[in-house]
Amino acid sequence: MAVFRRPVKRLRSGRYQLRLSPEERELLRGLPGQLKELLADTDEPALRRLFPPAYIDDKEGEAEYRRLVGDDLLQGRQAALDLMAETIDATELDEQQVTAWLSSLNDLRLVIGTQLDVREDEEPLDTPIHQVYYYLTMLEDAVINALSSQYD
């Protein structure tokens, strides 16, 4: 009988244990930097789900919205990616760090899902990039469960 290992769990101390294999950490290690490179061009089509329009039929309203909050949205995403990259080898995270992981995992999934044109009604595909997408989905779910759970 296989034992399920939760990759993230809340501890009595209020911190979060991060139990990832060396292979998982190596996979994750390069992803924040790759997404930060993409974020340098906010017109990149793969980023459309990260920066959806606030005003679909109002170009002036959309331009004003982007002027007012665009930099803050971008900087928030970059800061979360930096924090994830800084803590890739950590075995415990505080709440700010685990929240940054959640944000980064979600952003990575959205971008990869957009690049792959992933749809909920499709059969899962077994290509390496699809496997990365499914792994990020599982890890994001583990972080959400840890954040919403009581300590173990």
Per-domain boundaries in the chain: 8-148
pTM: 0.89
Tell me which H or E stretch contains 32. helix 31-39
Model confidence pLDDT, tens digit, residues 40-58: 987 889 998 888 888 889 9
Burial of 15 (0-12, 13-18, 19+ CB in 10 A): middle
Torsion of CA 22, 14, 136, 140, to 10 degrees: 170
CA 149/CA 151 separation, integer angstroms:
6
| Distance, CA of 152 to CA of 150 (rounded, Å) | 7
Residue with tokens 């769990």: 9
pLDDT one-digit tens code per residue, 105-142? 999 999 999 999 887 777 778 899 999 999 999 999 99
Q: What is the DSSP letter of 15?
A: -
Give me 27's structure tokens: 């996979």
